[in-house]
Each structure stands twice: as structure tokens, then as C-alpha cells.
Structure 1
Amino acid sequence: MLRTVSLILFLMLPSLSFAQSCSFSVSSLNFGAVDTLSGAQINSTASISVNCTGTPLQRILLCPNLAAGSGGATSAAARQMKSGSNALNFQLYSDVARSIVWGSYNWSYAARSPAYALTLSALGSASGTITLYGAVPGGQSTVVPGTYLSTFSGATNTPFRYRYNSGSNCNSSTGTATTATFTVNASVAANCLVAVQNIDFGAKGVLSANSDATGGVSVTCTPGTTYTVALNGGTTNSAPTARKMSKGAETVTYGLYKDAARSQPWGDATTPGSTVPGAGNGLIQALTVYGRVPPQTTPTPGTYTDTVVVTVTY
């Protein structure tokens, strides 16, 4: 009789079923310092850790849904981090190529949560790690410097669902729900880029009259960033209107100016009031440099050159 009872109990054990229970935690996704003027995409990752218990050897389907976040979204391609009323676009993906947007069954865009699965061990437990891929796209030069943040939490933004299932359908609210909290953040610092166009006075004969030519300095600064543009005294460290182009020991005097009338010298901090101020808007701001070779004693024929250093201070 004891053997019979023992056999009946053994046959009944596999029919026992335990409710599944899963917990999730998500690390912060930090993009660090973002240079919005570079035009390059910035990538980062976060990790989703999951721990589940339940019926031994059963498969649990995991659907970690992610909606817009506290910064909102303006399109299927653009979630946003916010700094006050200012926004920085970013996106979350389920693949390392950052081509499949990570979404949710409860937001207005087509993207849905990727499906993951854990098979419980003979002891009824399992754990795993899922990588969340993030990207801040380039082409956001008009974003104002600041610290940007989006928070994901609660049933609206992180409805993580799970259930015993052999499939891969994460398009609905089916299953047990839990939530997790994490942040996405980045900082945009004030920055400036500079490019130049050389000045060529061309071929001249006797230097008996003014010879004029123009060049340029292009400045691109983050919005609201104030700057000044200085031109040094060239290789001879001369005054703004008495710079020297050289050929060996011989020189040609020339000046650089802020205005077409050549009345406002363009120099550096050693000549007070001679620099050019500005304020960035995230776009290229073109500044014309007006050059003049005044009448002077003509040196021997040849090519005369000088190198002027452009400095943007912001």
C-alpha cells in the first residue's frame, strides 16, 4: 500500500503549476556630452535585468514595453529629452544596428516591444539581461546648451508584461504587468566651430594705389553662445593695419578690416575694440574679412605671403 501511495504522488507532481513572477530593473542610459555641431550620431546602451520564478521548465514570454518617456515624442523616429522647454531628440532600439525602434502596445506609433523569453530551470527560476540601444541623431545644431532628461516609469511608460507562452506576440496588454524606472540623459555644452577663406590680392605691379581683396571667417556656435573673433598680427606680430607679407627679408604691408570702407581694423586683444563679437544660433554665420594693400615702395617681384591665426573665444 505504501508503494501504491508513493507512485500516485509521483504521477501527480508534474501536474502542479506555479504562478510566474518576474521583476525588472533598468540601468540609466547616459549619452554624456553631446556635440550637436559635429553632425555625428551619439550612441549609448542600457541594460534590462530580469529575474523570474514559476513552474519548472516552463517558458515565460517577456514584453518590456517602452512608451514615449516624460519628454514625449514628436514622431515615431523622435523621442525627446527636455531641458526646460528645450528638446533634444533621441531614440531607443532593440538592435545594435539601431534600425528597429523599441515601442509599446499603448503608444500611438507602429513600433512595438521586442519579444524575449526565459525558460525556467528545474528549480523554477531564471534570470537574464537584455540590452537597450539608444541614439541621439546628428543634425541638431540648433539645440540650446543644457542638461537634458527623460524619465521612464509607471504603467504608462514602462508596462513590462510577462506570461507563460510559447509565442512571440507583444502587440497587446496580455499577461501580468509590472513596471521599472530609469532615466535617459545627455548634456549639450556651448561650442563653436570655425572655418576660413583665404585672402588673395592677386598679381600686382607697382604698389602705387590701394589694392583690395576679401576673405572670410565662418563661425558656427550653439544657440545663445556669445563669442568674439580675433585675428592675430601674422608671422611678424604686427598691428592690424601694418601686417607684413614676406618673401625672404622683403615685405609688403597690408591691413585687415571689419568693414568694406576699411576704416575699422580687425585685430586681437592687444588692440582694444578690434575684435568682432557675435552670438550663435546653431547655423553658419559668415563674416567678411576686408584686406587692403596701401601704396608703398614696391619690393622685388615674387610671391609674398603671411599666415594669420583666427581665434574664436566663447
Structure 2
Amino acid sequence: MPFTDLSLADCRDYRPTLPVPADLDAFWSRTLDEARSCAADKPSFTAVETGLTQVRTYDVTVPGFAGQPVRGWLRMPAGASEPLGCVVEFLGYGRGRGLAHENLLWASAGYAHLLMDTRGQGWSAAGGDTADPDGGAAGVVPGFLTRGIESPETYYYRRLFTDAVRCVDALRDRPEIDPERIVVTGVSQGGGIALAVSGLVPGLAGVMPDVPFLCNFRRGAEISGRPPFTEIAEYLRLHRDRTESVFATLSYFDAALLATRATAPALFSIAMMDDICPPSTCFSAYNGYAGPKDVRVYAFNGHEGGAEYQQREQLAWVASLFAGLPSGQAGHS
């Protein structure tokens, strides 16, 4: 596929001025405080039998936004006796948590691994188990990117980002997890969620966003030719008088903006032929990221990005990161 965006040199210099709501920090502080205060139920971790002898798996339910249940899988190496470093993974658009025996990379490497389900999604082969009670009707544009977009209070990603923060909260209270060694990661939508969490949760050990979505919404809607960014353009094609109000809502959820509040070390990956998350939108987040950072660029790949090659980079990066951190409770196995 051809290059359709800025050159790599121009991407590295690309630092757009993103709109910052005056009450951005207050909005998120209130949102997260409300979620934490209304969670009547504690997180549950129920062991499940998968037939895998070297990996322990737990069916997880965490009270997320408004205390609503969010599902997930927690996997860890069998026989681990010390608190583990943990990788929290958020999923791409349309994906759900899948089956209990899948996604074994991080547990096989000796870490705990929480895979968070995505509320209302999971219509792909990787099915989901988390409802979105506040979702309402999808509206005139299919998908989730414009659901509730009339207001930051009702926007879908307010609920989803809160779910992600609450999953990190839940892990910090688990005796099997070293709370100082939690890394968040994800591909595409999952990468955007990881960036948002990095700006909303202090004290993370690291962040690994791959070809991150949800960055620089306006540019994505203007230049991307494939969904999901096209959902915004389609919505505004139908609602010609809502352009400014739509982007005002989206500014509260721009992962590139929230990343300017992050301090944890980050390893990004960006693909230069990505026509779903154009590289300039990803570099908006990378260039503005406030913590220590590095990036792997895949010059001739589309939205698949680095795939297994990037996983190899991540395994080495996490091992080095955790080896250099002071131990909170104990080292990972």
C-alpha cells in the first residue's frame, strides 16, 4: 500500500496544538472518584480449569464505570510464589476477551497478564462478555466512536477509560501482583486506552501502545479513509451543525492529550503505511508524551504494525524495565 500521510521526518517533527478543555483534569478526577465511590461490589477472581498445566487462569469481574461489571481474564505462571510483575492489556476495536485458554504470551514469559474485556464490543471472533448498560441506541452511525458524543458525560469512551483505570486499581490490591510493576499495553484502540490510562493513573511502571487509535481525533477524521475514524466524518456529514461541539466532546478523550500528563516509561510502535490510524496521529501522541519514551517504526507496514516483531521488542523491553526497577514487594519470577 502507498504512503498516504506525512513522511517519517515530518511525523517526528509533528506537534499539533491539541485543544485542552479548561476542566479536563477536574472532569477526570470527578469521573474516577465517582466510579471508585459507587463500587459496592469488590473485584472477583474465580479460578477456571483450562487444561493448561503451566498457566493459572482466573475469570475476573471488576466494578468499572458506575460500578458496572467488567469482565476479563487474569493469567499467571503456575507455581509462582512471589508477587509478579503484571501486563494489563486492552483490546482493539470490536474485539472481546475471547476464550480462557488464549493469549498466553505474557504468562509464558513469567508475568501476570490481565486481559480486559471491552464493554459492548466483542462482535468479532474474539467474543466479549461485558455489557454496556448505558450504551443506548447506536444512533445514525454504526459503531462506538460517536455513541453519546453529544456530551463528555454521556460519551462511550468515558465509560471505557474508567473501566480500564478500575482494572488497574483492582490489580494493585492483589497479593500476587507487585503494584510497582504494572505495565499497560494494547494495539489500536487498546493502545489508545493504554495511553489514556498512562495519563490518568500515577505510578505505572510502563506503557506499550502499538499503532494507537484515539489520538488527534480531528486529523484522524479528516485524513483516514477507513473505519473507525470515518465514523466521525460520517456523523458530521449527517449533522452539519455539530462539528465544533463534537470535537469539543472528543477533546476530553484524546489519548494524545492525556499522554501529555503521563510520566511512566513508554515503548511505542507506529506503522508508516497505516491507513486506519495514520502515523501522524500516532506521532501526535508520541511527540507529546511526557515521560521517557522510545518508538519502533515499521516503514512498510499497515495497521498490522510490527505484530510478532513488536512482541519480541516488548518482551525484551519489559524484562529490562522490571530489572531496573526497585522492588515494591518482591521481584517477578
TM exceeding 0.5: no
Larger radius of gyration: 1
**Band the TM-score falls in, shorter-chain normalisation:** under 0.3
Q: TM-score, normalising length from structure 2?
A: 0.22
Q: TM-score, normalising length from structure 1?
A: 0.23
